[in-house]
A and B are shown apart, each in its own frame.
Chain A
Amino acid sequence: IQLTQSPPSLSASVGDRVTITCRASQGINSYLAWYQQNPGKAPKLLIYAASTLQSGVPSRFSGSGSGTDFTLTINSLQPEDFATYYCQQLDSYPLTFGGGTKVEIK
């Protein structure tokens, strides 16, 4: 299953609302997770089951979608949110990742 993330990168300002999309090449129910990765660090789980916020993750992060189309939204972007975001499908092996979206400061 291939995952296509868009956009590959975006520039935004603190306080902006940001939306990242992830499209699967076939239906994956709601078996999708989102991760945040900062340079030189391991990925951090943000959302699982497409829309469930991982414990400790700020509520400005939200996820939606099912089937083939998914969205990660960051409301009121904070300085610590400038990072790269990946989606991952957990429906079937191999557990593929999207290509990533780098969120940069405008």
Chain B
Amino acid sequence: QVQLVQSGAGVKRPGASVKVSCRTSGYTFTKYGLSWVRQAPGQGLEWMGWIGPYNGNTYYGQKFQDRVTLSTDTPTTTAYMELRNLRSDDTAVYFCARGGTLEPGKPYYYYGMDVWGQGTTVIVSS
């Protein structure tokens, strides 16, 4: 079955960087886009950005574009999200989610984000 398995939780100092991985299985990796979404404690969902594994194209939310880099490794069907210059308000659970595919006659995100990773907790604290 389709699965997205994320790396484990971590504690980081302010100013440091974190790189979260999202290992995929059960589908053709290059056929679907991947988004990253975060959720601060007690808050709602916040979309961070998207990467298309088939060509490496990315789109970042304006709030994150100066500090985040999304990447993929096709041989291992793994996606990565690196967030730099961490601040205390980056403390959150970070999710990867599969979404977006090219299908004739349908918009790219027609099927929504149908499979999610389990989430990775990142705590930023001195």
- Does any Cβ of B come within 8 Å of A60's Cβ? no
Bound: A47/B114 CA distance, A = 10
Bound: A104/B95 CA distance, A = 24
B47 contacts A49, C-beta separation under 8 Å: no
B109 contacts A31, C-beta separation under 8 Å: yes
Bound: A93/B112 CA distance, A = 13
What's the minimum C-beta distance from B71 to chain A, rounded to whole angstroms?
18
Q: Interface residue tally of chain A, by bracket? A: 20 to 34
- Does any Cβ of B come within 8 Å of A96's Cβ? yes
Chain A facing B: main interface SS: loop
B59 contacts A93, C-beta separation under 8 Å: yes
- Does any Cβ of A come within 8 Å of B91's Cβ? no
A88 contacts B112, C-beta separation under 8 Å: yes
Bound: A23/B49 CA distance, A = 22
What's the minimum C-beta distance from A76 to chain B, rounded to whole angstroms?
24
B44 contacts A88, C-beta separation under 8 Å: no
28 CB-based A-B contacts, threshold 8 Å: A35-B45, A35-B113, A41-B119, A42-B95, A42-B117, A42-B119, A43-B37, A43-B95, A43-B116, A45-B113, A47-B112, A48-B111, A48-B112, A48-B114, A49-B110, A49-B111, A54-B112, A86-B45, A88-B45, A90-B112, A93-B59, A94-B47, A95-B50, A95-B109, A97-B45, A97-B46, A100-B44, A100-B45
